[in-house]
Structure 1
Amino acid sequence: MSIGIDELGLKQTMGFRIRLARQKRNLTMEEVASQLGSSRGYIANVESGTTNLSLIRVIEFSKILEVDPAWLTGFRNSDEGLFIDELTDFITDDFVLKSTFLDKKGLKSDRILSVEVVGKSMEPTIKAGSFAIANMEATGIIERDLFVLKVEDKYCVRWVEPTVEGNYKIESNQNDPFFMPNCTVTPMELTQIEIIGRVELIVSSRD
């Protein structure tokens, strides 16, 4: 007994939605093809609805375009909240950052990390008990800036600054001699420290 799937209609739906999502992501056919390990012609055929897609291929497209695969295949008709990252708030036991707020800041909920600042080493910049929100997509050190670092399974917030000699200063406002005291490290030594990301936000309560 046939369940009556319109194969041509399914291919055309997926092709149209792949093109729509690609354009909304400002990606070229060549860029998508490169991530898939295919060609521009293949992407053009997919978007025109003339190519069958396997389940694995659908999932690959959904990851590259950051869309819900159910929407991509036509099993979800609403375009509301099309992009996955726009649906997700950042939720902790202590606070919630709404997805609309994160979007305004250019941040993604799955690419940030919250770290509680313990002790007074970063006062007055960050008071004890506040939360530093690190952007895990921003790990490059160009100028003096605040970063969340991970050392020996512990997180801390420190100023990191490149020096004219090609090394890096790592400092807190109030030198912490017990955990990561102020120091200067070489590029090789810096590789032994995990740079989680640049601090983009500070969440704290009023006194």
Structure 2
Amino acid sequence: MDLSERIKLARKKANLTQSQLAESVGIAQTAISQLESGKTLRSSYLIQIARSCKVNSVWLASGEGEMNLTEDTLTSLSNEIEEIMCGEHEDDAALNNSLRERIENLRNVSRYAPSNSLLTEEIPYLIELDDPLDPSRRVVQVSVSVQLDLSIEILEKQKVLPKNVVAVAISGNSMTPVLQDGSTVVAHLLETQVIDGKMYVIDHGGQIRVKALYRLPGGGIRVRSYNVTEHPDESYSVREMEEAKIRIIGRVFWGASFY
């Protein structure tokens, strides 16, 4: 049974329509349709889909283990995780270590025990808003309401703390075929030094852009889209970056496409 069949089975078991499931998860109905038809083969919303359908997210994502987790298992795991979360920890890394150790113990007990992918952090999205001081301008801000549930396992592999990352929704076709319109990427705010060819989130005068960057002599940058046919390279000196109000927000380390 592939992912599309598991999602459809889980949705029907929960007596949900595609629209109802999409609304519960917070994504478009077309995203569920694409997943169930097999046109989309992955999604970072699998945990939310599993929760909405009340099935085991490990089973939903990989097909391993049982479709349903018993109530006793869910309650026990929830209580243990809550106890760890409420305990004293020096920092986020120490907390993640405690959670990881508990998950590792669960793995030793059962081959179908949950992995770190069941544990998520809420990552805020960057959004564009009208400048309250000048409605003719746009500004980039961190959203207080729109968030992405990102697996702790991803953050641990990158050795980044949740407080230092932001999510960005891709708009347009400039980064196709790698990033489609509607994709989401996550960037590390502490990595703003350009490494040639790496992908970065930038604030370009109030517009959020995700581009591959290259260093130029004198401190400037070359901005490159993957769809070079429609979006040719752009080059900026340090002065031109200041005039265009170009600011490097962070390096992209994770991305997913939902459509």
Going from structure 1 to structure 2, the CA distance change for 1:155 and 1:181 (only over 3 Å counts) comes to: farther
Alpha-carbon RMSD: 3.0
Going from structure 1 to structure 2, the CA distance change for 1:203 and 1:139 (only over 3 Å counts) comes to: same
Gaps spanning 5+ residues in structure 1: where? 1-77
Are 1:185 and 2:236 matched, yes or no? yes
**Structure 1 residue 79: deviation in Å?**
9.2
- TM (norm. structure 1) is 0.52
Amino acid at match of 2:204: V
Specify which structure has the higher proportion of strand. Answer: 2
**Structure 1 residue 176: deviation in Å?**
9.2
Gaps spanning 5+ residues in structure 2: where? 1-84, 96-119, 125-145
Amino acid at match of 2:214: E
Residue 128 (structure 1) aligned to one of 164, 173, 181:
181
Identity of aligned residues (%): 24
Note the 1:62-81 alignment, pairs <5 A. Answer: 80=87
**Structure 1 residue 183: deviation in Å?**
1.2
- TM (norm. structure 2) is 0.42
Going from structure 1 to structure 2, the CA distance change for 1:94 and 1:167 (only over 3 Å counts) comes to: closer
Are 1:145 and 2:152 matched, yes or no? no
**Structure 1 residue 132: deviation in Å?**
1.2
Note the 1:48-127 alignment, pairs <5 A. Answer: 80=87, 82-86=89-93, 87=95, 89-91=121-123, 93=146, 95-127=148-180
Amino acid at match of 1:110: K
Going from structure 1 to structure 2, the CA distance change for 1:204 and 1:81 (only over 3 Å counts) comes to: farther
Tell me what 1:154 maps to: 207
Does the CA contact (< 8 Å) of 2:222 and 2:234 recur in 1? yes
Q: Larger C-alpha radius of gyration, 1 or 2?
A: 1
Are 1:169 and 2:222 matched, yes or no? yes
Q: Deviations over 1:87-131 (max 9, x none)?
A: 581345564113343122211111111110011110012111111
Going from structure 1 to structure 2, the CA distance change for 1:139 and 1:190 (only over 3 Å counts) comes to: same
Going from structure 1 to structure 2, the CA distance change for 1:124 and 1:84 (only over 3 Å counts) comes to: same
For 1:81 and 1:176, locate their aligned partners in 2 and report how far apart those are by CA, in whole Å: 54
Indicate the SS of the match to 2:199. strand
For 1:80 and 1:104, locate their aligned partners in 2 and report how far apart those are by CA, in whole Å: 23
Indicate the SS of the match to 1:89. strand
Going from structure 1 to structure 2, the CA distance change for 1:105 and 1:123 (only over 3 Å counts) comes to: same
**Structure 1 residue 168: deviation in Å?**
1.8
Specify which structure has the higher proportion of helix. Answer: 2
Aligned length in residues = 127
